Amino acid sequence: MPRKSTRLTFAVLATGAGVFAMLQSLIAPALPTVQHALHTSQSTATWVMTAYLLSASVFTPILGRAGDLVGKKRTLVAVLVTVLAGCLVAALAPNIGVLIVARVVQGVGGALFPLSFGIIRDEFAASEVSGSISNLSAVIAAGGGVGMVAAGPIVSALDYRWLFWIPVAIVAATVLIALRYIPESPNKAQGKVSWLGAMLLSAWLVALLLPLSQAGQWGWGSAKVLGLFAAAVLLFALWLTTEARSHSPLIDLRVMRLPAVWTTNAAALLFGAGMYAIWSFLPGFVQTPTAAGYGFGASVAESGLLMLPMLVAMFLSGVLSGRLEPRVGAKALLTAGAALGALACGFLTLWHEGQWQIAVVAGLFGLGIGLAFASMANLIVGSVPPEQTGAATGMNANIRTIGGSIGAALTSVLVTARLQPSGLPYASGYTHGWGLLALLCLAATGAALLVPVRRAGRTTDPVPAGAQREPVRVR
């Protein structure tokens, strides 16, 4: 087999990124099982998700930038080995503390997204880049869906530890193939990693995301939540000042200010808010006992099957977007994806009495996710210099995650505002939550409409000092 087989390269990238995406959602339906098996509390068990979120948010842009500087293949292999170690430790974890540490290690895999996009841009022919990015985005989107669908059957048939043993085998094989067949990318940025910028970026992300994920338990008005939000604002301002003055910034703010980049990131923030909240709350709605006046009393496996239309639609629309993008442009696909998300949430707000309605909503939202994921990646990759690909796409993924945390937090406030004597939310809480998500996706549609239209083309020259590059490969 030739050393530079783009098909094999794509298969390796898709496998690694797909496994990481699956790990994001695979453990969520099994948290009650983990809580019982490791003899811990619900509040402690939620740190299995929180630790992963915080770790991925910190490492995604930092290692994306490291790949730009020292080599994308070298960084990709190191990240895959780290994910492998994290999965192995999680599978063997004797207590909840070790499992949480393992999830922090797994979160390093967030860098697989920007590294994979960068390798595709560097190694594939220009005519293949857009379609390959769309296909990879489809795999990433579908990976999250696979996690929701597969968790129940795996836990029922085997054990929750197999949620990590299976990725161990897959990632180990991926590492060996990546070492042998993925070439080192020729495009490297000049400079070095700004460790001060990295520390400040990590600090404000943790200060922002931690209270968003824990406010339900700590209380929105608590000193910890308010203090961390204040710290996030101050650290963010300090990070911006430091990056603007740095000769070798971690994130080049001139690139972030490009019209195609900031408008795409705005859409990512708003659409991410709707997407992650749907992933978080729709299965819970379906699993609610019918005695609450809504819900279907579904098991974890049954609720996963109701999410199956979302999984199929995400993958198909992501692949289809690669063929549509040359004809209609990435901007139109992003706009359509966000609009489909708004339509799905609007439908859910009005109609959620039958399981078929949930399946329709899941399918519609899945179509939107597939289109949006692929178009966001293409818009960012086509608008920045090759040596900035990792950092720029890493920040886009991060901004989507931040939006998801905000959306999930706001939805949680609405859903749990009033509880029945049984402790379950009222149906109106979910209805208000779905309505909010529809508005967020509608706002994402508006942001997508602001993305500038440019003729197709590619660029490889870096952004000159003190100047801004015009986005070039978006339509």
pLDDT of residue 3: 43
Domains of the chain listed by start with CATH number: 6-193+248-449 (1.20.1250.20), 194-247 (no CATH)
> Which parts of the chain have pLDDT scores under 50?
1-3, 456-475
pTM: 0.81
pLDDT of residue 164: 93
Specify whether the backbone of 384 is left (phi greater than 0), alpha (psi in -120 to 50) or beta.
Answer: beta
pLDDT of residue 345: 95
pLDDT of residue 1: 35
